[in-house]
Structure 1
Amino acid sequence: MTDSLIIGADNEVILHFDLKLEDGSAADSTRVNNKPAKMVMGDGSLTPNFEACLLGLKKGDKKSFKLGPEDAFGQSDPNNIHYMDRSRFGADLQVEEGMILAFAQPDGSEIPGIIRSAAGDSVTVDFNHPLAGQTVIFDVEIIDVKPGVSAQGGN
């Protein structure tokens, strides 16, 4: 049995990652709390484009990928920007630009919205992913690669 299983479909992967913007500012990192991410390829925890970056890597590999908006979090969609009356927010809530608030959906789930502006009685809320429209740098370090559940069945 070899120690260097190559990442493919259904593999369990333990990795550290840093997600940065082109200007070098940090967007997300597993290193902040020194807690690597654990995921199974194809489980939906990463988008297909992020998963594609991992294919072919093995334990110990470190690699950096630059992904344009189309391959990362998509372009900002103007249909996801909504203008709301300030009265829809609690009277005790100081609505300020840059705030992220949870908004209830009809099915009971919540979706985050970023306050883009609050002027007079109008509040502009952006429901796009916070990194939509951004080129990102995806730095990964593969800690471990394990066979997928289907491969452990013993054929």
Structure 2
Amino acid sequence: MKVEANKVVSFHYSVSDGGGEPVDSSRERGEPLAVLIGAQNIIPGLEAAMLGREAGERFQVEVAPAEAYGERRADFVQRVPKKYFQGPEKLVPGMSTVLQTKENGPRMVVVLKVGSSVIDVDLNHPLAGKTLSFDVEITQIRDASPEEIAHRHVHGDGGHEH
């Protein structure tokens, strides 16, 4: 079975941002990541590199910013009231945190400045503007269930539970 749309693919990965050391790795968590192909659940460049591959394949791929988290935007800064953050008293400049947004759901942001009632954040993803190097090992491929296709994400092992 090959990786294609509406297949659930489980895979281990590590990713670095050009600095050599991985910035994230499924291997450290022990469980592979499971995604529904074609549902835009991973960055486009990584999904494209998986298409046509089979379980057991291991490969490396470099993904340009345009096919990952986009280019950095210097003007992508926003002042947000502290009430929208979990644990705002623990936030310091340079720290990454998740901000719940109405339009886009959870969004990774970087704290720029902490004031008495507001926090200035960089809305660029921390990996925006970077070419990412992935080491990927596809561990399993299966047909997605009709429910997974309708919900546009994986259910069960490695996926989302309802």
Which TM class, normalised by the smaller chain length?
0.7 to 0.9
- Residue identity (%): 24
Counterpart-to-counterpart distance in 1, 2:103 and 2:36: 28
TM-score w.r.t. length of structure 2:
0.72
The residue aligned with 2:3 is 7
Contact 2:69 2:125 in 1 (8 A): yes
Deviation track 1:111-137 (CA, whole Å, cap 9, x = no partner) reads: 342113458999541011111011110
Distance 1:127 1:13, change over 3 A: same
The residue aligned with 1:99 is 95
The residue aligned with 1:153 is none
The residue aligned with 2:58 is 62
Q: Which runs of 5+ in 1 are unaligned?
A: 151-155
The residue aligned with 1:45 is 41
The residue aligned with 1:134 is 130
Contact 2:113 2:121 in 1 (8 A): yes
| 2:130 partner amino acid | Q
Counterpart-to-counterpart distance in 1, 2:27 and 2:15: 11
Q: Which runs of 5+ in 2 are unaligned?
A: 147-162
Q: CA RMSD in A?
A: 2.9
Give the superposition deviation at 1:104: 4.7
TM-score w.r.t. length of structure 1:
0.75
The residue aligned with 1:36 is 32
More displaced, 73-82 or 130-139? 73-82
Distance 1:77 1:59, change over 3 A: same
* SS, match of residue 78 in structure 1: coil
Distance 1:103 1:134, change over 3 A: same
Counterpart-to-counterpart distance in 1, 2:60 and 2:135: 4
Counterpart-to-counterpart distance in 2, 1:17 and 1:123: 33
Indicate whether 1:80 and 2:76 are aligned: yes
Counterpart-to-counterpart distance in 2, 1:42 and 1:82: 32
Distance 1:109 1:61, change over 3 A: closer
* SS, match of residue 23 in structure 1: coil
Give the superposition deviation at 1:97: 1.4
Distance 1:106 1:71, change over 3 A: closer
